[in-house]
Amino acid sequence: MRQQHRTRDRLKGLGFHAIVLAIVGVILYPAVWMLSSSFKPSSDIVGNVSLIPDAATFANFAKALDGIGGVSFWTFFTNSLILAIGSVVGITLSCSVSAYAFARIDFPGRNAFFALMIGTLLLPFHVVIIPQYIVFSRLELVDTFVPLLVGKFLAAEAFFVFLMVQFMRNLPRELDEAARIDGAGHVRIFTSIMLPLMKPALVTSSIFAFIWSWNDFFGPLLYLKDPDLATMPLALRLYVDQTTTSDYGAQMAMAVLALVPVLLFFLVFQRYLVEGVATQGLKG
């Protein structure tokens, strides 16, 4: 009886893994196909379902690394890196400070501002982008990184403020009360109690901030016209435009290179990413 139960359970387990692995296969196929195509000769990409290149070649990568129109690949890479690191620094600083005010300080107007902050989570960003563009172009800040970074330093991405508020609210109140009795002010409490305890929230925010900035297309498309300032997604778009003769190999190689940092982050931090989404309802 028990033996029978065990075999049935095992069969069910096999069925489960067969089904889920099949879904995994379908889901991961486009990504794996992109990777394998980047090693195939251009003529062999479009209709080729196979994931194993007949004759692997690095020519596509060599071509992608040559850059576009005299601008080196590494210029694009560095631009993306500067923006992504700037975003991480700006978001962790500004959002943690603001979140502390929402989560731990009692002052008139807090609840109203908190409601407004939640409201901005749902606001389509198109309604602010036109005046922002007008102001930045008046200030002659188009073709600089300023328009793309200023919001990050001013806690304009409500997602991260919200995430950090939620996290701080779950930290025991007794900690700051004890510190207050010992005479610590908010600056002390924030820097020496909250920040160290908030590490998981800060790490999760940093990873998302990096990846979102790295993948961002709309912002750079608006503000960065000079090819020397282009980010990886912009360069990729220029590349596709330029190679209308369909050099798919080089396009795929460039697409892979544009995703490498994201995929590395994903492999290293996937637990943080998935749990950050699970607990805070963040989107990818």
Footprint on residues 218-257 left by another protein (CB under 8 A): 218, 221-222, 233, 236-237, 240-241, 248, 251-252, 255-256
**Half-sphere exposure at residue 156, Cβ-oriented, CA atoms within 13 angstroms:** 14
The residue from 22, 51, 105, 268 that contacts another protein (CB under 8 A) is: 105
The residue from 6, 8, 10, 16 that contacts another protein (CB under 8 A) is: 16
153 lies in the site for another protein, by CB under 8 A? yes
279 lies in the site for another protein, by CB under 8 A? yes
Q: How far is CA 129 from CA 42, 108, 167, in A?
A: 39, 31, 30
Shortest distance in whole angstroms from residue 281 CB to another protein? 6
Structural tokens at position 203: 């790490």
Residues 199 to 218 in contact with another protein, rule: CB under 8 A: 211, 215, 217-218
| Interface pattern 172-191 for another protein (x via CB under 8 A) | -------------xxxx-x-
149 lies in the site for another protein, by CB under 8 A? no
**Half-sphere exposure at residue 16, Cβ-oriented, CA atoms within 13 angstroms:** 6
Residues 50 to 89 in contact with another protein, rule: CB under 8 A: none
The Cα–Cα gap between 235 and 255 comes to 10
Shortest distance in whole angstroms from residue 95 CB to another protein? 8
Shortest distance in whole angstroms from residue 199 CB to another protein? 19
Write the single-letter amino acid at 221: L
- Cα 81 from chain centroid? 12
122 lies in the site for another protein, by CB under 8 A? yes
Shortest distance in whole angstroms from residue 278 CB to another protein? 4
Is 57 in contact with 39 (CB distance < 8 Å)?
yes
The Cα–Cα gap between 188 and 176 comes to 10
The Cα–Cα gap between 277 and 208 comes to 10
